[in-house]
Amino acid sequence: MKTKKILFILAFSVMFVGCHQDKLDSFADNGKITDSKEPEKKLPWDYPVKPGTEEWKKFQTSDEMIAVCQIPEDILSHLSTEDLTEICLLYPFTYDIFAFNNINDGLDKLFGDFNGIRELYKRNDVSAYLLKLYNEKIQNFSYLDGKASYADQGHFIMSISILEALLSKVKEQNNNGTRFKEILKALVAGYEGKLKKPDDFTGIGFESNFFSRARVISKMNQAFVSQLPKKEKDNALYSGMIDEQTIDVINDWSYRLIK
């Protein structure tokens, strides 16, 4: 049974990071970040056309799909940070950040394409809300031991990786680095939780955590950068493809900085 679950989740991940638009058509809820235990929240705005619908299938290019997902400017500025975060997490192309050569390129594409995520990161409280969501997620790893379907478990696993990637983009709002330390502590806790369930968090599951920690640590301490292997320094600090040396450096600095 465990092997079957692993194979399903691996296949699930491939479907979302394959970057093929025809696959998106088959998954109307591909942006789902919540798991089935969480109640649906009524948001003040929703995407007018969604993957899986007949209207979506009529689009000929990804540019048309991206255009229809933009939030009207007169609505965008009035959304609360909480609502805007939830809307951004439901953006149909969120999972595509893992379809690039490295996560950083995927995030750049997301920020270049979607006005909602750009507005979100202008908010001073974005880090607090993303951190809140992430902490709630990593407190519920037991969800993977329950009776949830493989699909819902796959959504849960991918949602944690999405939140980790988004936390890597947070900027410090003050000069003492306390927010970065809080984020790093949470990411370490997430990493330790994943280590207890390594079969569930293969590939992207660990890569997103290492990527995010590397980005946060580099903002906290430049000495960290000097210890990375040269290939990592030359590739936006951390590309998503790791070796044992890089893991050791990231882990070493993580535990130093959260003390």
pLDDT of residue 246: 83
| Helices 126-138 & 150-167 angle (0-180, nearest 10) | 140
Could you read off the pLDDT tens digit of each residue along the chain, which spans 259 residues? 444 444 444 444 444 444 334 333 333 333 344 444 444 678 999 999 999 999 999 999 999 999 999 999 999 999 999 999 999 999 999 999 998 888 989 999 999 999 999 999 999 999 999 999 999 999 999 999 988 888 889 889 999 999 999 999 998 665 567 899 999 999 999 999 999 999 999 888 899 999 999 999 888 886 666 666 565 544 545 555 577 888 888 999 999 899 8
Considering its fold, how many domains does the chain have in total?
A: 1
Q: Return the pLDDT at 230.
A: 62
* C-alpha separations of 208 from 42, 60, 87, 102, 161 in Å: 29, 31, 21, 10, 5
Query: Cα separation of 221 and 226, whole Å?
Result: 10
Instruction: Answer yes or no: are the C-beta atoms of 212 and 204 closer than 8 Å.
Output: no
Instruction: Look up the domain containing 106 and give its range.
Output: 2-257
Phi, psi at 50, each rounded to 5°:
-125, 155
Question: Which pLDDT belongs to residue 245?
Answer: 82
